[in-house]
Amino acid sequence: MIYGAGMSGLIAACNLASEGYDVLVREKESSWGGSSVFNPSLHTTPLDVPATSEYIGIDVSHAFKDVSTLSIYLHDYKIPAPVFMAYHVERSSRPSSLDALLYDKCVQAGVKFEFNTALRKQDLESLPEGTIIACGLNQAAYDDLGIPYKEWCAWMARGEAEHDNDAWIWMDECINEYGYISYCNGMYYNLLFAYGQEVTRDDLDKYQAFMKRVEGVEEDNWEYVRGAAPVVSPDNPQLVRDGFIMCGTMSGCLDPFMGFGISGSLVSGKVAAIAVSDPARAQEEFERFTRNYAKVYNFKQEVWYPLRARVDILEDLANILGPERTIKLFIEGLRKGRKHSAIPGFGVLSCN
């Protein structure tokens, strides 16, 4: 039994069905592909696609598209970032999405689905041990299962786009996280978000002014959304809670620094499947993928957030160094910092 037909739940389901288990996936939405509130969505993520495909036992290469350009903005100051092993991926029920690829694999493996069937608090006591919970960003599920989380708030926009494969990240003092846009599969996805604080209309106005001034992009179709993420304490990552196997974002298998969640959902889907027959091995794997979580979480709270509150200092430093030296320093920092990364999974920036 698996609750959640997003990518981590689908990977767990496909692996278990391939091993001969009878698998039933229950999903609160009317279809697979994650929450209809947040999806369709696009994400730009570091990933070693061949290594990830090998680990999870599913070739996901067709769902990941090369990134052409990736820019990091400190206010208006542009830093062209390296795009080596960075990819766009779509989350949705559209044929071009990662979820569509995984759903087809599940159907071929004989997985059964029940849609419009939510995980309810009153049902928890009757669920058998070993039930896999993969409910993603569902705030109610966090509350029902007693998983500590931090609310995030965001302005979100999406739609059709003529060009593909570009992305940017924008940092400003008005929010504690960032704004980003990704273009892929004929669409764009734009998000301005923060943890634990409202993102005001004034914040959005500032972001829109940047978009128009620097990138020549105008957008009026914004929605205000809220979600939950387990980034509230150093010990958030947990594979098993009250006899249930946690999977994807609900397991805390994500990057606490920048919020990268794709690679963590992919590998935790496989780990959840392992946990059904070999709990000890699954726990070892889970701890391997999340071993740097607490260290990076504490670094963000104690060092990055105070520095992040002064983007002007970061901008001044980048101006002094110049774009070329800034990029070289950035790449060297990534190279040396890789072994301390908290991005779970496989990739040039990941912990494995």
What is the structure's pLDDT at 351? Answer: 80
- Burial readout 5-31 (b: 16 or more C-beta within 10 A, e: otherwise): bbbbbbbbbbbbbbeebebebbbbbee
Residue 108 falls within a domain, yes or no?
Answer: yes
More confident residue, 254 or 351: 254
What is the structure's pLDDT at 333? Answer: 66
- pLDDT category at 263 given cuts 50, 70, 90 is very high
What is the structure's pLDDT at 352? Answer: 77
Number of helices (H), then strands (E), in the chain:
11, 16
Residue 115 falls within a domain, yes or no?
Answer: yes
Cβ atoms of 106 and 10 closer than 8 Å? yes
Q: Give 281-313 pLDDT, tens digit per residue.
A: 999 999 999 999 999 999 999 988 998 888 888
d(CA 287, CA 296): 15
Angle between helix 98-109 and helix 7-18 axes, rounded to 10 deg? 20
Residue 338 falls within a domain, yes or no?
Answer: no
Residue 6's domain comprises 2-300
Q: How many domains does the chain have?
A: 1
CATH number for the domain spanning 136: value is 3.50.50.60
Q: How far is CA 79 from CA 71, 132, 182, 242, 318, in A?
A: 6, 42, 16, 46, 8
Q: Beta strand pairing status for 223-229 and 150-160?
A: antiparallel
What is the structure's pLDDT at 328? Answer: 74
For the chain, percent of residues with pLDDT exceeding 90: 81
Q: What is the mean pLDDT of residues 313-334?
A: 77
3-state DSSP assignment of residue 225: strand
d(CA 54, CA 340): 23
Q: What is the mean pLDDT of residues 236-260?
A: 95
Residue 169 falls within a domain, yes or no?
Answer: yes
Q: Give 125-141 pLDDT, tens digit per residue.
A: 999 989 999 998 888 99
More confident residue, 339 or 348: 348
More confident residue, 38 or 178: 178
d(CA 345, CA 146): 26
For residue 303, give both structure tokens: 């060092």
Q: What is the mean pLDDT of residues 218-243?
A: 95
- pLDDT category at 35 given cuts 50, 70, 90 is confident
- Mean pLDDT, rounded, of the chain: 93
Q: What is the mean pLDDT of residues 315-340?
A: 74
Residue 341 falls within a domain, yes or no?
Answer: no
Residue 322 falls within a domain, yes or no?
Answer: no
Return the closest-CA partner of residue 77 out of 284, 321, 255: 321
Judged against a pLDDT cut of 70, whether residue 115 lies above it is answered with yes
Residue 125 falls within a domain, yes or no?
Answer: yes
Residue 87 falls within a domain, yes or no?
Answer: yes
